Structure 1
Amino acid sequence: MAAGQGLVAGRALWAEWTKLRTMPATGWTLAAMVLTTAAIGALVTWDLTPPDCARSDPSCDFDLAKLSLSGVYLGQAAVIVLAALAVTTEYETAMIRTTLASCPRRFAVLAAKAVVVTSAVVGAATISVVISLLAGREFLAGNGFTTTAGYRPLSLGDGPTLRAYGGTVLYLGLVALLSLGVAFVVRHTGGTVSILFVLLYVAPIMSIAVTDPRWKEWIEKASPMTAGLSIQATLRLDAQSIAPWAGLGVLALYAVAALATALLLLHLRDA
């Protein structure tokens, strides 16, 4: 029995990998994510100079790790598109019927697609984060953000810095899972991308517009992007609305809820 289930899972993984590998959008969306994330992060650190105010003033101390990862704000858009297309293309071409006919265990189909897409995103995210780290270290040191000037260097040997960079990779992987779940529910590329853009990008704008500090804090805690990206903070953690790992946990809850809903509807609805 266990061997049979393992064979089904292996076939499902291979099928999903083949579909993702041969999908025309896969290469350019992953490349767009890497280039956008790395390029924006590099541009921000290249243009950054030490402030004139005293280093003893906390408001003048830049969170260098977070700034070098600024490109994630736009880079995640490519992740949304890739995950959406990996699902909705099958529905829009009716290929999902062939998929479910060859693998009737719908949980296996969902799990295999989640593993394959998330693995591809995590691999590309790791590359983009490493490039951001190397570029940030080079540019910031050249701009005067050195240890002799009192600044902590960008190094994975530093615990908070490692959390920021490693957590960013996890963040993008969770965005992929959230996008997959929504795509299985909506079954339409434009609708899926629109919902995810609203979910991720509108809440941070609302938090800026809201003047009531209690509502502002609540929105930041509940927003998947704002809460999730708190994992990038390395300074002034007590001033954040939510702790780094707790914030990433909020995004994980959104992803789990989306996937659970997707699995339920996958069983209840026809292909």
Structure 2
Amino acid sequence: MGSLKSFEELSGETTLSAQTLRRFFGKIDAGKQLSVSSLSLLARYVGYRDWQDFAETISNKEKPSRADKTFIENMAVFFNNGERHNLDYHQSTLTVDTLNDCAKVIYAEKENLQYFYKLYGNNNWVSNCILAWLPKYNYFGNDRFREILADRIRKTASTKTRLALSNFLYLGSFLSQQNDDFTPTTTEVEQCYADYLRTGLYMPYHEMRYATVMLIDAKKNDDKHRFNAILSNYLSDLKIRELPTYHEQEMIVFLANTVLLKVLNRM
């Protein structure tokens, strides 16, 4: 709406003055609020009893949606079979593809994630897969997501999952610069890494994230010697691993993004 005529026409339909409508749409008196009675007239115009009815309806909009809840519930057979047979996420393309499709719905809304974890929080297989291997990076600073990660760390027996989620909590606190709730101490992250090393596994992404966490800690403590040693050791180890060139370069780019753009510039 832009022309005075359009506001005058709407005025006749809502019984509000054209000036009030222009104020509502921000054309005049920016920042000046309408009275509740005026807002109620607008609410009735679009089908609600009054302003309170409109506000309550919007705030109580169902989340997760019925369709999303049904989708998450219907994955129970797949999730339970994954737990029963301990399907290897890293070895089965079909499993990866199915979980990726599930993750799109689970992470579509924060409420979806909460509903998923309410149903399957005791299913170690799917909770570990979704949270550790298919994380939602934009949620790392969110209270509800962080609480779920912390709960999963307490419940899981998987050392690689504990390392992954501890890294996420630490990085989420640092990158958001606003949420220290559930953040593990550096010592706790180091213990997770030590437990992981004893398994003989090598997970490039989580090695890179762990190195980043240690670099952040060294920078916080203004320990240049430790900072340089961590960086040097990580890059040397990366060479020893003899990863495909594209994979090695990917690890370096990811690390550099955090170190150069986040650690050095923001601390």
What TM-score results when the alignment is normalised by the length of structure 1? Answer: 0.26
Q: Higher relative contact order by CA 8 Å / sep ≥ 6: 1 or 2?
A: 1
TM-score in terms of structure 2 length: 0.26
**Higher-helix-fraction structure:** 1
